[in-house]
Amino acid sequence: MKTNTLSFHEFTRTPKEDWAQEVSKNTALRSKETLENIFLKPLYFESDTAHLDYLQQSPAGIDCLRGAGKESYILGEWEITQKIDLPSIKESNKLLLHSLRNGQNTAAFTCSEAMRQGKDVDEATEAEVASGATISTLEDVAHLFQHVALEAVPLFLNTGCTSVPLLSFLKAYCVDHNFDMRQLTGTVGMDPLGTLAEYGRVPLSTRDLYDHLAYATRLAHSNVPELKTIIVSSIPYHNSGANAVQELAYMLATGVQYIDECMKRGLSLHQVLPHMTFSFSVSSHLFMEISKLRAFRMLWANVVRAFDDTAVSVPFIHTETSRLTQSKEDMYTNALRSTVQAFASIVGGADSLHIEPYDSVTSSSSQFAHRLSRNTHLILQHETHISKVMDPAGGSWYVEAYTHELMTKAWELFGNIEDHGGMEEALKQGRIQDEVEQMKVKRQGDIECRIERLIGVTHYAPKQHAASEEIKSTLSKKEERKMNKYSDQNTSEFSSNLSLEDYTKLASKGVTAGWMLKQMAKQSQPDSVVPLTKWRAAEKFEKIRVYTKGMSIGIMELVDPSSHKKAEIARSLFESAGFACETIKNIDSYVEIADWMNEQKHEAYVICGSDELVEKLLTKAMTYFEEDSVYVYVVGEEHVSRKTQWQQKGVMSVIHPKTNVIQCVKKLLCALEVEVHV
């Protein structure tokens, strides 16, 4: 059979000047500035990346500056690290066993807020134990890992301020079950600075917690070589509104602080590096998130070379889809966002991935939500084969330029933190918190003005929504677990030298993690800083919808070509705030306007049309309501300059695509004498 030879001779080479000219004709393709103060061009060329030396290196090279390790591509897999967030230890074990039978390949758990702060179940508030396991005793560990083949399944637990109590329980568990602890793999790590930033307080001084960090790392290096004990996480900063440059810089500064502190305590660089896990949250800005992860690999290589110019370290990157972008209403859109975020994680080179269940923002997640998240991994692995491509974004002029810009800005901010004493000092001075707060305020403004889109919230909001106050967070009651408190008379057995054998003896006698930390606290002082403010992008919209439940807006389209487009702007704006909208079309007289407003009782009305037609009809229509309180809006940016004139004619305000929804609706609710707390 004869086949035609593929040829592209009919396509002539188009000069880049011609491309630039075509792009300039489309105003939607103009340059845009990101939250990181990076100007994204509408068109990139080879010349934009010609100066980047690292592009000469092959993907998955010896230091993996581009892409994950070579083994990941051969196997075509990443670690499916779906964290189980149930508060019940026994139920967590059941769900883990079910998940392992259905595709999950790690034993991953969310540690409760109580556990991350060093509290036992009976010392914590209900909210602190509502989501995630609180592993307080050896018995808890035995129940949690019952029937789990630990020699074949990596672990993943972020224990918060310290991992020493849990490592003690694990050692005792291994002894009791004749299991060789050297076979443990995965991450059982601590992140004292991340915990301090998130909660504002840790139960021991950071100096003592660094002792724990060094102790756990020395233990792992000597006895559990495949276990990672240090977690450097950007998640607390991400969930408080930090941008990509800030996340990268804070990760670098925290990682350097941990290495420095371990080396001060007698560990070498080569003993520390293999036991570090770097944990990122990944949002829905696809190319930015891909570039962020790619940038981190190269930035971390620079950090390692600053310690030892002969050292090579491939960072282990764990990613989690963003809780910041999740919504309590129209929750299935969370699954769509998480899929995009998971894709960005893998293209960016993640070694391990947790996909937030779509309902995790309201409660401990349902088994169906866990299943959906787990199956998203399996589809990406076995149907897209995305992980079999080495550095799939590599070579894209846009992504490479974006990666380089993030690297440059993050390195500059990292240098500034180091010049002022490092990450711990920056947290204690409040500099980090102030920077993140400023960025959060900017992002909140962009969300409220619907510049930053959140599908199902700022745009395409569901017409029938359940008000946030009716979405009951099924906070599980604190699990009734009997804590066998170890007598304070036996505190002499407690070693101040942090010997694991001493801890193991105590763990075997039934002491709790909280009790251990209380004994340590007698020889230490807790550290505190101003905590980061947790933030979720959809929160204000969810709160405002509580007040607008049952309210409606009447939208009037005048006989004018521009009226329909303006009506869509009004409908989108008010529906995002929870109002039901009713529309009447083809109005051509002020009598029709007045009659419809009299017949259809709504909280407010919107008139859509050209400047001249709106002024002609509205002025006369408003004379019918001189003694009544009627709230009317007009739509269009061309009206903004005449806002004062319109208000004199009885118009509530002028709205346009970038109107601040929350401020606009709060003003209306105030006029309706509704007390609002948003």
Tell me: the pLDDT tens digits for 240-291? 999 999 999 999 999 999 999 999 999 999 999 999 999 999 999 999 999 9
Between CA 115 and CA 110 the distance in angstroms is 10
Domain that holds residue 586: 539-671
Residue 63 located in a structural domain: no
Greater confidence (186 vs 486) lies with 186
Report d(CA 164, CA 520) in Å as an integer. Answer: 11
Residues 123 and 224 in one domain: yes
Q: Are residues 435 and 560 in the same domain?
A: no
Could you tell me the pLDDT band of residue 622, with boundaries at 50, 70 and 90?
confident
Q: Which of 402, 435, 460 is the last residue of a domain?
A: 460
What value does the mean pLDDT of the chain take? Answer: 88
Same domain, 191 and 284: yes
Phi/psi zone of residue 326: left (φ > 0), alpha (ψ -120 to 50 degrees), beta? beta
* pLDDT 10s digits, 412-457: 999 999 999 999 999 999 999 999 999 999 999 999 999 999 999 9
**In this model, does residue 187 exceed pLDDT 80?**
yes
- Residue 1 forms part of a structural domain: no
Flag whether 41 is in a domain.
Answer: no
Predicted pLDDT of residue 495: 47
Q: What is the pLDDT of residues 367-410, one digit of tens each?
A: 899 999 999 999 999 998 888 888 888 889 999 999 999 999 99
Higher-pLDDT residue of 648, 113:
113
Query: Which of 275, 267, 202, 283 has the alpha carbon at shortest distance from 232?
Result: 275
Which CATH number fits the domain that encloses residue 250? 3.20.20.240
Mean pLDDT of 584-612: 90
Residues 345 and 215 in one domain: yes
Residue ending a domain, choose from 460, 493, 512: 460
* Pairing status of strand 604-608 against strand 632-635: parallel
Same domain, 259 and 369: yes
**Are residues 108 and 200 both part of a single domain?**
yes
pLDDT, tens only, 122-135: 888 998 998 999 99
How many percent of the chain have pLDDT more than 70?
88
- Residue 555 and residue 453 share a domain: no
CA torsion through residues 192, 197, 199, 205, sign:
positive
Residue at which a domain ends, from 430, 460, 490: 460
The Cα-based distances of 176 to 138, 139, 424 in angstroms read 10, 11, 39
pLDDT for the residue numbered 8: 67
Same domain membership, residue 298 and residue 156: yes
HSE toward the beta carbon, residue 21, CA cutoff 13 A: 5
- pLDDT recorded at residue 472: 35
Tell me, yes or no, whether 442 and 578 share the same domain. Answer: no
What is the helix, strand, coil percentage profile of the chain, to 5? 50, 10, 40
In a domain, 484, yes or no: no
- Choice among 175-189, 475-489, 502-516, 555-569 with the minimum mean pLDDT: 475-489
Q: What global pTM score does this model have? A: 0.92
pLDDT confidence of 28, banded at 50, 70, 90? confident
In this predicted structure, what is the pLDDT of residue 484? 54
CATH of the domain at 632: 3.40.50.280
Confidence of residue 19 (pLDDT cuts 50, 70, 90): confident
In a domain, 114, yes or no: yes
> What is the pLDDT confidence band of residue 1, given thresholds at 50, 70 and 90?
very low
CA distance 316 to 267: 20
pLDDT digit string, tens, across residues 471-499: 333 344 455 555 555 544 454 544 455 45
| 514-519: average pLDDT | 88
Instruction: Taking residues 51-58, report their average pLDDT.
Output: 80
The percentage of the chain sitting over the pLDDT mark of 90, rounded to a whole number, equals 66
List CB contacts of 301: < 8 A, sequence separation 6 or more: 63, 65, 312, 313
- CA-based nearest residue to 193, from 270, 255, 240: 255
Number of domains comprising the chain = 2
Determine, yes or no, domain membership for 40: no
Does residue 531 lie within any of the structural domains? Answer: no
- Domain presence at residue 615: yes
Of 572, 553, 573, 571, the residue nearest 630 (C-alpha):
553
Q: How far is CA 181 from CA 145, 163, 168, in A?
A: 14, 16, 11
Tokens of 480: 């009734």
